[in-house]
A and B are shown apart, each in its own frame.
Chain A
Amino acid sequence: MMTFLDSFSFLDDVRRMDTRQLFYQALNFAMIVSSALMIWKGLMVHSGSESPIVVVLSGSMEPAFYRGDLLFLTNYKEEPVRVGDIVVFKVEGRDIPIVHRVLKVHERENGTVKFLTKGDNNSVDDRGLYAPGQLWLQKKDIVGRAKGFVPYVGIVTILMNDYPKFKYTVLALLGVFVLLHRE
């Protein structure tokens, strides 16, 4: 029992903190938040994509990507769209972007391109998923193209979205730890 109580001994540290120390801890916290933001914005500039890292939310690309896998995207405008590319695209009326593979490409002389996608694990193409009456995707629908892959890492985000209480607990614990912990 004693050992368990001992684990909360860091709370004593708080009592001993003076103003200068508190101020330092708060600044430290702000530092972490702003560097995370800087990394994210830096990746956005580097990759040209509005969301350079996405978590796979559906099983439509199994067995390549499972729920919770992480994809790194780029969205360079000059790079042509070709079959076999894994694109992340937005469809009007759907909040969540879709990750699927390009199946057909028709590109005109002036560079306008229309393409059709399909999930590896789906038996039919994506026309049923597009907005009513929409037959093709265009370049403006692309959020990014998958260039890198790391498995499992995104499962934390999925858990957080599925169980909001878990999210707030984790965030609260992290915040308390960063604010109170003293090196």
Chain B
Amino acid sequence: MNTFLSRANTIFAFTLSVVAALTFGCFLSTAFEDHRAPVSIKTAKAMVKRVSDFSVSREKNDLGFITFDLKADMNPLFNWNVKQLFIYLTAQYETDNNKVNQVVLWDKIIQRGEKAVIDLNSMNTKYYFFDDGNGLRSNRNVTLSLSWNVIPNAGTLPKVDGDGTYTFEFPTEYSSSRS
């Protein structure tokens, strides 16, 4: 029974299965990549103030200011199943209040075809480095690390930490609000 409808139906179903199989093959072909790359991070300056984050409350919290240097080549991470990389710089530290604190200071989206070499000098942070309390002053162990979230054309969404972190400490005195 070869009516028009049954033919159209068969072609549509076959096209769908072929597209699904190809997409799955594309995912399988890149499923075992480790997406790692070396990273070099340094801070040029670190100071801390005690101010109110008015978007949270009137309470005064520690606000860190840092500038950082960052070098990484993301080109090797791109393959045919990488649509975009979401790259973010995280500060991780421990305080009396909290066992784990993670604050994203800077991020960047690199899409396929865009320039994928990161080379920043004395860069300011993109987001405020507010602590949840007063745990930044004279904190001796703040670790900066660069990580990325790989967005594929289709497949899993791995989160990868770059090889290379940098640990710095904040000064023991608050900076005056003028400087």
Contacts and interface: CB of A to CB of B under 8 A. Distances in A.
A103 B147 CA distance: 13
Interface stretch (A26-34, A90-98, A142-150): A142-150
Contacts of B99: 107-109
Contact of B90 (A83, A120, A147): A83
Interface in B1-26: 1, 3-6, 23
A42 interface: no
A104 B102 contact: yes
Interface string A111-142: 00110000010000001000000010000000
A108 B84 CA distance: 33
A84 B149 contact: yes
A128 B101 CA distance: 22
A76 to B, nearest CB: 15
Contact of B97 (A104, A106, A148): A106
A146 B157 CA distance: 7
Given A82-B102, A120-B109, A149 B151 contact: yes
Contacts of A3: 3-4
Contacts of B86: 64, 84, 101, 120
Nearest to B147: A84
Contacts of A82: 102, 159
Contact of A147 (B55, B101, B104, B156): B156
Contact of A9 (B3, B23, B90): B3
- In the complex, which range does the number of interface residues on chain A fall in? 20 to 34
A65 B57 CA distance: 33
B177 interface: no
Interface in B154-179: 154-157, 159
Contacts of A120: 86, 109
B153 interface: yes
Contacts of B5: 7
A107 B99 CA distance: 6
A105 interface: yes
B104 A108 contact: no
Interface of A: 3-4, 6-7, 9-10, 63-65, 80, 82-86, 101, 103-109, 113-114, 120, 127, 135, 146-151
